Amino acid sequence: MAASRKKNLLIIAIVVVLIMVVVLSLFVFLISPRLYTGKLEPINIGLYPSEYNSLIYIANDQKYFSANGLNVTFKTYLSGASAVSGMLKGEVDASTGSEFVVASNVMKNASLCAFGSVSKYLNVYLAARIDKGINRISDLEGKKIGLTLESSNQFYLSRFLELNGINQSKVTLVNINFVETPNALANGTVDATVTFQPYLNQIQSLLPNKTVVFLIQSNQFGYFEATCAKSWASSHSDLIIKLLKALIQAESFNINHQDKAIAIVAKDLNYTDSYTTSVWPDFQYSVTLDQSFVLLMQEEARWLISNNLTSLTSVPNFLTNIYSDGLKSVRPQSVNIIGLGN
């Protein structure tokens, strides 16, 4: 009797294990990218070579683009702003750039739309020379600060100064391309500079133990967005869906294999693994359309208006420049913008 009961329990256990194996195999099959057997559709993407675009590098390395039916060609630009500008000129089909680039182009009446983030970032710094008498934020008064004017860096600096009780008229702004900020600070052209990586590391190498560094984004993440022309979105919705699927698969790869993801990006950008690992926490790699993305653009628009950097006198309706149908069809829970409708 006992032997028969043990035999039955063993059979039940074997059946349960077999069911679990079948269910797990089915789950893996469903979430794994399918081998695409049709004709690959061409798409040209313009981008600034940086860790902002890590999901794109991962998707390309892991062949997620081709697995979703895309033949992707990349065109590199000197900045996100120039990549979006190239897209608007028809040089590429899609591009990536910051939310500030999206907002400023919309305010110039550009017919573009954002269709999903490729990263969120918290990495804009103010590096200042201690030997110029700058040890704390209040010491910035009367100093020369280098940055790219009419950019997100100026927006972040302006808000940072305001939040710390410093009128922008109390500092002198010097227009410097972001790639030149390390040398400008080192040679004394400016006393402080707005910068980000890898230029912050370059500054600290040129001026070891001679700088004080402040994070100036007020703990508000910026957004790096995938963009295209409105007309292209309406006529190529299928390509946008395929592109978003590949990026979401890259997002999952980063979650489950972060060390490998870091190695891929480091190799593509010719960075060291140690550097890439050190800056990885400055980014959130997720494909979304967030309400905070819209709110930040609205804040930037108000800043542009108040500083007479646009001919507009009121904040535009940025919802008309967001293409959400693609992400809604792929992963609807990642669209969290009020007023977009169903």
What DSSP line would sit under 183-218, residue for residue? HHHHTTS-SEEEE-TTHHHHHHHHSTT-EEEEE-ST
Q: Mean pLDDT across the stretch 216-235?
A: 95
Architecture of domain 41-122+222-336 in this structure: 3-Layer(aba) Sandwich (3.40)
What single-letter DSSP state applies at residue 272? -
SS3 330: helix
Give mean pLDDT, residues 291-309. 96
Cα 302 off chain centre by: 22
Judge whether residue 3 has pLDDT over 60. no
Residue 339's pLDDT band, with cuts at 50, 70 and 90, is confident
Tell me, what's the pLDDT at 15?
Answer: 53
Find the radius of gyration of the CA atoms of the chain.
Answer: 24
Which CATH fold topology does 125-215 show?
A: D-Maltodextrin-Binding Protein; domain 2 (3.40.190)
Residues 326-330 have a mean pLDDT of 97
- CA separation for the pair 158, 307 (Å, rounded): 10
What is the location of CATH 3.40.190.10 in the chain? 41-122+222-336, 125-215
- pLDDT value of residue 26: 43
Residue 23 in this model has a pLDDT that exceeds 90 = no
Mean pLDDT over residues 249-259, rounded?
98
Region 21-38: mean pLDDT is: 49
How far is residue 214's CA from residue 208's CA, in Å, rounded to a whole number?
Answer: 16
What is the per-residue pLDDT across 313-324, written as a single tens digit (0 to 9) for each?
999 999 999 999
| Range list of β-strands (E), 262-304 | 283-284, 289-290
Examine the pLDDT at 294 and tell me if it is beyond 50: yes
pTM strictly above 0.75 = yes
Question: CB under 8 Å to 64, separation ≥6 — which residues?
Answer: 33, 58, 245, 246, 247, 249, 250
Instruction: Output the pLDDT for position 22.
Output: 43
The DSSP bridge partners found for residue 193 are: 127, 146
Q: Encode pLDDT of 46-101 as tens digits.
A: 999 999 999 999 999 999 999 999 999 999 999 999 999 999 999 999 999 999 99
125-140: average pLDDT: 96
pLDDT tens digits for range 149-193: 999 999 999 999 999 999 999 999 999 999 999 999 999 999 999
Of the listed ranges 16-25, 136-145, 290-299, the least confidently predicted one is 16-25
**What confidence score (pLDDT) does residue 27 get?**
41
Comparing 189 with 109, the larger pLDDT belongs to: 189
Percent of the chain with pLDDT over 90: 85
CB 302: neighbour CB atoms within 10 A?
A: 12
Average pLDDT, integer, range 258-276: 97
